[in-house]
Chain A
């Protein structure tokens, strides 16, 4: 099956600084790469996703980059705010058409220090 590695496992940044989380995946056939944010006591929620035919995608302070050749993708958060503190998960799809599954990284706990 798919293997997704995520780094770092914990990240502390000062408010206003940028945060970068990196993931690598093993299945070269993967086409969909979502990022989820999980706040304490809640289920994960999608914050941004990217497909294999796109190299970069932005949504306000959040951006994701994808390098299919190297099989890695990254989440960039600029101008971090205390409410960005949460656990972030990357994921990649694997499997065959009509039966795709998501494999998640182990998560990054982001702490934004006011």
Chain B
């Protein structure tokens, strides 16, 4: 079972570049979320979706866009990368907001 698949695993960007982090799940989950993980800061919610066509902002949404055109996919777009966006990004999915969340393996992003 694939679960939650994130691509790429590693990425280096120059300041000002844009890119899309991909996330796909094969569990037919309605809920999908993006988190960033920084040392000593835990996991902070960037954006989340409760179903196809529905997205909302989390705690740290600035500089990121999301869309949810299908149940399976939830891409995260960095519009104009900044060094402050250097982080490890995790995508997660769950059946509801109050059941087990399954996480991908993460994308380590460095912005120089």
Assess whether A100 is in contact with B98, with CB atoms less than 8 Å apart: yes
* Cβ–Cβ < 8 Å partners of A101 in chain B: 33, 45, 48, 58, 97
Say which one of A39-47, A53-61, A67-75, A77-85 lies at the interface with B: A39-47
What is the number of residues of chain A that contact chain B, defined by CB distance less than 8 Å?
28
Assess whether A44 is in contact with B42, with CB atoms less than 8 Å apart: no
What is the bound-complex CA distance between A89 and B58, given in angstroms?
Answer: 18
What is the bound-complex CA distance between A64 and B41, given in angstroms?
Answer: 23
Assess whether A46 is in contact with B90, with CB atoms less than 8 Å apart: no
* Cβ–Cβ < 8 Å partners of A42 in chain B: 105-106
Assess whether A105 is in contact with B58, with CB atoms less than 8 Å apart: no
- A81-114 residues at the B interface, CB under 8 angstroms: 89, 93, 95, 98-107
Assess whether A99 is in contact with B97, with CB atoms less than 8 Å apart: yes
- Interface flag for B66 (CB, 8 Å): no
Assess whether B42 is in contact with A34, with CB atoms less than 8 Å apart: no
* Cβ–Cβ < 8 Å partners of A46 in chain B: 100-101
* Cβ–Cβ < 8 Å partners of A105 in chain B: 42
- Interface flag for B26 (CB, 8 Å): no
Apart from A99-B50, A101-B58, A104-B43, 9 more pairs, CB < 8 Å:
A32-B98, A41-B106, A43-B4, A44-B103, A101-B33, A101-B97, A102-B97, A106-B41, A106-B42
